[in-house]
Structures are given as C-alpha cells and as structure tokens.
Structure 1
C-alpha cells in the first residue's frame, strides 16, 4: 500500500508520521525530586535519535513527571535555540492530581486551561505551542467557558491549534460547537494489542460488541472531519517486540511470533512492523512512541515508509484478536 499524507500534513502542518512522546523524560512523578544531569543527558539522546529518523513532532503534557519532562526538553531546546522553528511542539492539560484543593479530577475551566498553558510555555522555554490538547473529558465541562480559554490562547498567539485526547465524537462536537476553532487532533490508545477501534466496526450486531468500550462511530467521524488520529501506547509496551512473554496468553505469544517472522521477511524490526500495522490503516494514524531509549527510537525508523499488504495486516489482526473474524 502507498503512503498517503496524514491529516496534519493536509492541513499545512509539516508533521512527521511518527511523534516522540516525552512522558518518560525527567525521572519520577514526584514534584519534589530534582532533575539530574542524567535526566538532561537522556533528553538530549532521545531528541537526537528522534531527529535522526526524521521525527520532528514532540508530545508533552503538563502532568508528565510533574512538569519535569517539559523542563528537561526545554533545557535541550535552550541549548539549541534554532531548533524551535524546525519542530512541532504539542502539549496537553486538563488533568489535575489530588492536592490541597481537591481529589484527582479533570478541569476544563477557563482559568485552569490558561494557567496551565502559561506553565507549559515557561517550562518548555517557548512563546507558543503548535498544538494544545485537552487531555481527558471533564464531565463538568461548560463548553462556553472552555471556548473562552481557547479564544484567549489563540488571540494571544500562545497556541496555534487545538485538539483533544481520549474523547468520543460527541464530546468533540460539543466543544467545537462553541470554540470557534477546529479540533484537529484526537489522541487515543490504539495498538495491535488495543484494537477496540477495529473491533467496534467488525462487531456491529455481534455478541462480542458488548464489552468493547471504544466509542462507536469515532473512527468514521475523525476521517470525515480530517481530524488527526494519534495513537498513544502504539508499541503495546513492547509485548510484541522483545519483552518477556512469561505469563502471557497464547494469542499474545502467537502475535509476537508472527511479528518476528514478518520483520525477518521484510528485513526490518519488530517495532517497525507493529507501528506499520497501525499506519497501514487508511485513517492516517500517527503513532506517539513512548520510549526515550535511543535504540528503540531508531528501531522505529522503517515504520514511516513500511506498509503491510492486506493479507499480512489481517494475519496480525486475527492473531492479536485471538479468534476468527465474524
């Protein structure tokens, strides 16, 4: 199958087909822990490996390592100021962990969103974000209030584009109806192991559909609206590309074996096969790889151009599904 432009590219945003997720930068998620020289070294090496294989887009969130992930990345950018104009920075806000003010919660209020973006920009050492994602649905959202935050951030030049993470088409449509700005990204968990985005489609009017939580119609809506689908967890935590299979199901073992066979036949890596399986889907899925190990990042290189034929794609899907298709 041929490689087609991803939705972000068709919108004039020169994003790479792979994104480096920066969640693992900065050490643990204890805000009191210091950032060490080792953390900065890790950040430099991860960035170098990503650039080496053509990645120019980097994904953050204000909660990652309690803000330390953004600080590490910001320091690397400070050391290479010319790089900012060559990369695309995306971050997220809306999740608030338990603190003196309340329990773990979601917050799409105007004040919280605006303050969060100011903090993100300070930590990254940049004047603007290319894309801001609202991280998880806030059941108490007032879409008019959220729209005010979006309009303020757009007018100030602090955020150029907006998107969401972990949302259904109905939740996106509600926000978009008030915001005056299109939501151009939806980041969801999708992988060869987390294949609910496919199961929803093939299980219509099937008994197997009852336990699937992936929102029906979401894939079709994103494609119709030219919304970039991003996949978090696309490598399935390495379960098909070298992680120990002890205690895993027969279907996991069978899928890992098939991935290895395809990698050998196609003269590539297991990581590239796992990602290519996602990227072969015609929706133009953009994987956000979560590793900051330079060698694993480099192992993903071929995924940008590798596409599976229909038969190999279905072989992998059926193996991961662990049963025959209906």
Structure 2
C-alpha cells in the first residue's frame, strides 16, 4: 500500500482508508478479521464517527481487536463529531464531550484526527477554537479537520482556530463529480458549469488540505453502487475493459480513478467484507493513464467542452 504525506502534520497515511460506519452490523469476529486484513494490506487509517451505529461502531471496533497499546501504535484513528438527532452541534461543550465518548469507546488516550462532521449553521467559531485548544493541550487530539465544508466555512473557522485544518471529507465518486465538472466547464450555460461548492477542490489543493472522498462507489445520495449496475452500461463497459487489461477487480479501478487525481486524495472505503477490501487495495498497485482517466469520466455521462 502506497502512502501519502499529510501537510502540516507528521502523518504519513495509507492512501486508502477504511470507513467504519457499518461495522457495528458485523459480529466481533467479523470485525476483527476485517481490521486485521486491513492492517495486513497496509491500510492503517481507520475513519470513525461518534454517531456510527449510535457509538457501537467505535465500541465494537475496540472490543473486537482487544485494543492494546501495541496495536494502537500500528493504526491512525480518526473520528468525527457534531451530528446530533435532528440537529448539528459544534458547541465547545458538545465537542469536548463527544471526544471523551469516542476515546472511551475506542479504548485509547488520543485520536490522531478529529473532524467536524458536516457544517453547523449555528457554529460559533470562538467555541470551536476553545475546544480545539483544550483537546490539543490535553493530548486527546493530535490534528483537526472538517467534513463537507466549503471554502468560506473553512475560512471562518480558520479566523479563530489556531490549528491547521488538514482534512476535508467530501462526497466524490466517478458518478458524483460536481467538484470536477465545474472546473472543466467554466463559463458555460449548462448545469455542469454551476459551482455548487465554492471551488472546494482547487481551494483544498491551494491550502494543502487532503480531501477524503466518501462513498466512492455510490451514485446519487446513497442510491446504490454504480459498479455492475444496469443503469450505467457504458461506464461499466469501460471499467471492465480496464479490469481485463490491468488484471485488477472493478472496485480497484474505481478507486484508482480517484487516486489518479493530482490532489493526492485519500478515499474512505466502507466495505465490511474482508475479501472485497483486498480487491479494493489493488488500486494502489496501478496508475491510470490520463486518457484512461478521461475515458472513465466521459463514460459516466459527463462531457468535455
């Protein structure tokens, strides 16, 4: 597994991360097998959130692997906070309590990374700054970032927060390419040219923020996977041609498409199947050509001006 450096940190992370949103659905032995397979494949970055499984994803993760100091040293743990039932909450009180809860469930003294999970319309950035200072000063969190935030939301936080925001978790897949489309169809009177996110892709590149694409196999908003889906015949034809020529599974091609982008993104894959994870990890063994990248982009129904 290749690694990528994370700017403004001493982290060198696996270029693929395992998302743990659904692991609470597995028995403990299944979780242990998935985590140890991940480590064996070189995927050492694990993405959690306090709301996943109502906290059970974090708790069962630590229980299944019998978390110990020696095992903890082999992994990078990221968690997210801020989503509450029917609301968002970036208050100082909630952030601090959420981190304490995650640490307890994960059986660890610190998180490598904490992300603010989606924007809070009522955010008071001064409170976020106070919380981050307390968490960093106590050693409970090493680095910080955001999820699903646009450039101005990040700039507002940066006005008050001392710590660099090193990650932004954003929806991106071959069939969810809005942040790419707008940059290719600039100044055109078509839907693809609408800038819906403030040029977040270019902003993150300019400010050395590592993008973590989530749901890299999904189309729409959790409507299903595009691989082997009759709704995307041309896309699957092009991907399957690459499967034949590259000798890797179609899941690896889908992730290799993200890894080919020079922004050096870190896709979050949420599979709970150990063999599928092995297949996905083969993406790290190949590099798509420029033409292959564009062929996939066009096969998904996108256009070039």
> Into which bin does the TM-score normalised by the smaller protein fall?
over 0.9
Would you say the 8 A contact 1:4–1:284 is kept in 2? no
Identify the residue that residue 19 of structure 2 maps to in structure 1: 21
1:305 aligns with 2:294: no
For residues 9 and 245 of structure 2, what CA distance do their matches in structure 1 show? 36
The equivalent position to 1:105 in structure 2, one of 61, 75, 87, is: 87
Identify the residue that residue 304 of structure 2 maps to in structure 1: 325
Would you say the 8 A contact 1:275–1:300 is kept in 2? yes
Gaps of 5+ in 1: 28-37, 98-103
- For the aligned residue pairs, the C-alpha RMSD in angstroms reads 1.9
Superposition deviation, residue 323 in structure 1:
4.6
- Residues 169-191 of structure 1: CA deviation (Å, up to 9, x unaligned): 11111111101110000000001
Superposition deviation, residue 5 in structure 1:
6.1
Would you say the 8 A contact 2:92–2:127 is kept in 1? yes
Matches within 5 A, 1:34-45: 39-45=27-33
- Residues 148-206 of structure 1: CA deviation (Å, up to 9, x unaligned): 11111111110000000000111111111101110000000001111111111012111
The secondary structure found in structure 2 opposite 1:185 is: strand
Equivalenced residue count is: 301
The equivalent position to 1:241 in structure 2, one of 227, 231, 235, is: 227
For residues 298 and 180 of structure 1, what CA distance do their matches in structure 2 show? 39
Matches within 5 A, 1:58-97: 58-97=46-85
1:46 aligns with 2:34: yes
Change (3 A) 1:165 1:66: same
Superposition deviation, residue 235 in structure 1:
2.1
The secondary structure found in structure 2 opposite 1:286 is: coil
Identify the residue that residue 154 of structure 1 maps to in structure 2: 136
For residues 8 and 125 of structure 2, what CA distance do their matches in structure 1 show? 28
The equivalent position to 1:186 in structure 2, one of 148, 160, 168, is: 168
Would you say the 8 A contact 2:181–2:192 is kept in 1? no
Superposition deviation, residue 130 in structure 1:
0.1
Superposition deviation, residue 48 in structure 1:
1.8
**TM-score, normalization: structure 2?**
0.93
Gaps of 5+ in 2: none
**TM-score, normalization: structure 1?**
0.88
Would you say the 8 A contact 2:62–2:106 is kept in 1? yes
The secondary structure found in structure 1 opposite 2:27 is: helix
Change (3 A) 1:9 1:225: closer
Identify the residue that residue 105 of structure 2 maps to in structure 1: 123
For residues 167 and 136 of structure 2, what CA distance do their matches in structure 1 show? 16
Would you say the 8 A contact 2:2–2:15 is kept in 1? no
